[in-house]
Amino acid sequence: MGKGRSVVVEPKNQQRINEQIRRSPIRVIGPDGEQMRVIPTKEALEEAQKSGLDLVEVAPNETPPVCRIMDFGKYKYQQKKRLNKGQAHQIKMKEVRFRPKTGEHDILVKVNRARDFLLHKNKVTVTVQFRGREMAHVEEGRRVLDQVLEALEDVAKVEAPPNRHGRRINCTLGPK
């Protein structure tokens, strides 16, 4: 490299657009997909600018190179969307906790939150936690759990039935 020289290195996978296209003449494909003709690059750029679109090099190794008049931003967005389409949703485990003395309205709020999780294809663990003397009234916690399961039966299936682990009763729900 000499002094004062700058070299522009283009990434291999990036397409040249508008003024980046250096070869002339080029074969032009119109915005509606019809093949136009072989014209100088400058003339093709003017055509693209008249229609408010970009000139994109789609086949640089052909003779003459093939360029297309299109909305490049929209094209890139669709390509990115197509790439992301193949990715599967990661199932996450969410938890919603209750106490035996949880009020009716608070139960409804938490049930709606659990419903959102299930509609987004996540699993939900419903937990009723007991503290201190609440252990003497396990049936009250069981009632709360049954109320939650009944409210979610339209969007969830029980994957692990309610079982007691020390000071907790757990139940795992999966999306239907």
- Residue ranges and CATH numbers for the domains of the chain are 18-84 (3.10.20.80), 93-175 (3.30.110.10)
Which residues in the chain show pLDDT less than 50? 1
* pLDDT number for residue 4: 57
Are residues 123 and 106 in contact, defined by beta-carbon separation less than 8 angstroms?
Answer: no
* pLDDT number for residue 24: 80
Are residues 89 and 121 in contact, defined by beta-carbon separation less than 8 angstroms?
Answer: yes
* pLDDT number for residue 5: 57
* pLDDT number for residue 160: 93
